[in-house]
């Protein structure tokens, strides 16, 4: 897709300084710009590159004034970073404009779907599935019986959604995500042999949720595992049966949440965090990466460590931890002196 400087300026409500007919067909970093590419400058750290970049068009802030000659055409906007993000959204929506049903696919005759749906080849869609308008289902997806998928949701290649689960509007589910697999439920008998406990619930994903590649969200033993509106999940996250994740919470990669735990709204959870089962985590909680959460957490806490405790106390403690070898040597010297 080619765009001219004037077309981009119209899209961003910006002003062209230079060649209005300059064309671009790709994006680049400013330091790696080449003819035909579009880039942006928002961080002053990268200002020197605007004088050497070969990018055809560069988006800059309104207050940018070149100190020497430049070869790139400028598009001036109030906020270059925001404008470039807007352009990326536009580019992504154009790139993702797919519709129709490819072949071969297996679609039950009882499936209902809205307008402008795309279903990629080698996908399977079971009985009584409901698919909203503008849903994109990329190749090799599996959708079990009685699943509901809301308007504008995208399932990338290899997504598996088990029976009876519900996905809201405007969700993005990346490749190889599994939603609704059995929870990890086993009960030992008197001989110590583990017998599987049937998991008969489902998973409910609310609107505007993003789920990163290869993440897994298990179905509830009974009832629902629930991910509320606006939640953003990174890649390779495990959410166990009957967990609830509150609105607008963000969770980084490789975090694991054990069964029946409830996480509040607007939480920020770092990578590789482990959260024990059957606990409650309040609203607006921040958990640093690689922490272990073993008990209930109140609203507005900031935690780090395993077992986790207050963020500021953790760093004070860490200073002493680093000094333990010196302290041990000092104690040894004192003990030797006392023996003399």
Indicate which residues carry an active-site annotation.
Answer: 241
Residue 46, phi then psi, degrees to nearest 5: -100, 10
Q: Which residues pair with 136 in a beta bridge?
A: 118, 154
Instruction: Quote the CA–CA distance of 179 and 159 in Å, as a whole number.
Output: 8
Rounded Cα gap, residues 22 and 34, in angstroms: 13
Q: How far apart are CA 92 and CA 8, in angstroms?
A: 15
109 with 126: CB under 8 angstroms? no
Could you give the CA distance from residue 156 to residue 238 in angstroms, rounded to a whole number? Answer: 18
The whole-angstrom separation of Cα 75 and Cα 78 is 10
Write the CB contacts of 189 (distance below 8 Å, at least 6 apart in sequence): 195
| Helices (H) then strands (E): counts for the chain | 4, 40
CA–CA dist 178, 215 (Å, integer): 7
Residues 30-67 as b or e (16 or more Cβ within 10 Å = b): beebeebbbbbbbeeeeeebbeebebbbbbbbeebeee
Q: Note the maximum CA span of the chain.
A: 93
Can you tell me the distance from the alpha carbon of 191 to that of 174, in angstroms, rounded to the nearest whole number? 42
């Amino acid at each position: 897709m080619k765009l001219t400087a004037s077309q981009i300026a119209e899209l961003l409500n910006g002003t062209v300084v230079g060649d209005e007919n300059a064309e671009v067909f790709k994006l680049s970093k400013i330091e790696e710009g080449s003819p035909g590419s579009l880039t942006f400058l928002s961080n002053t750290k990268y200002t020197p590159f605007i004088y050497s970049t070969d990018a055809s068009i560069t988006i800059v802030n309104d207050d940018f004034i070149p100190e020497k000659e430049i070869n790139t055409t400028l598009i001036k906007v109030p906020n270059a970073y925001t404008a470039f993000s807007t352009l990326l959204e536009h580019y992504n929506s154009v790139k993702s404009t797919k519709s129709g049903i490819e072949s071969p696919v297996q679609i039950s005759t009882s499936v209902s779907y809205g307008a402008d749906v795309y279903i990629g080849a080698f996908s399977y869609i079971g009985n009584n599935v409901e698919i909203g308008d503008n849903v994109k289902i990329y190749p090799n997806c599996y959708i079990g019986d009685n699943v509901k998928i809301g308007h504008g949701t995208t399932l990338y290649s290899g997504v598996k959604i088990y029976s009876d689960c519900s996905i809201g509007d405007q969700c993005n589910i990346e490749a190889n995500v599994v939603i609704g697999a059995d929870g990890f439920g086993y009960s030992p008998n008197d001989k110590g042999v583990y017998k599987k406990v049937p998991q008969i619930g489902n998973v409910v994903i609310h609107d505007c949720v993003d789920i990163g590649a290869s993440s897994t969200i298990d179905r509830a033993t009974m009832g629902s595992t629930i991910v509320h509106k606006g939640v953003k999940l990174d890649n390779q996250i495990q959410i166990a049966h009957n967990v609830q994740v509150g609105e607008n919470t963000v969770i980084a990669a490789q975090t694991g949440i054990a069964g029946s735990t409830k996480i509040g709204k607007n939480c920020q959870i770092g990578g590789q965090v482990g959260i024990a089962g059957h606990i409650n985590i309040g609203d607006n909680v921040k958990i640093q990466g690689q922490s272990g959460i073993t008990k209930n957490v109140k609203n507005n806490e900031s935690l780090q460590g395993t077992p986790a405790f207050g963020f500021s106390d953790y760093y004070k403690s860490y200073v002493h931890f680093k000094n333990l070898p010196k302290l041990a040597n000092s104690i040894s010297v004192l003990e030797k002196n006392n023996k003399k």
